[in-house]
Amino acid sequence: MTELEHLIKTRLHTTFMPQRLELIAHDPPPPFRNIPNLDQEGYFRLLIVSSQFTGKPLTERHRSVYITLGPLMENRIHALTVYALTPEEFTPS
């Protein structure tokens, strides 16, 4: 786990006390790979399941995740796909 992944998980755990949290790092999209001086870290998919999302629309759930990650969203996270679900909405595969 990288330092950035650790920071993201810590902030999300502290704020949302999730029942499930999966953070998957991935490569930047093809047009941005192998560009000199472009940070190749900071591309993630996030699944977060928390009762704190109950009764909140999707936009508010995403906004609360972005606010929680604060400055990391401004300069260290380049892309974040968010799946923010309530325990009732989550079905493990």
Mean pLDDT of 35-46: 74
Residues 9-25 have a mean pLDDT of: 97
Domain 3-85: give its CATH superfamily. BolA-like (3.30.300.90)
Round the average pLDDT of the chain to a whole number and report it: 90
pLDDT score, position 92: 86
Contact assessment for residue 23 and residue 5, using Cβ atoms and an 8 Å cutoff = yes
DSSP 8-class letter at 38: -
Paired with 42 in beta bridges are none
| Angle of CA points 54, 59, 60, to nearest 5° | 50
Q: What is the DSSP letter of 32?
A: G
Q: Indicate the pTM of the whole model.
A: 0.87
| Residue 38: pLDDT over 90 | no
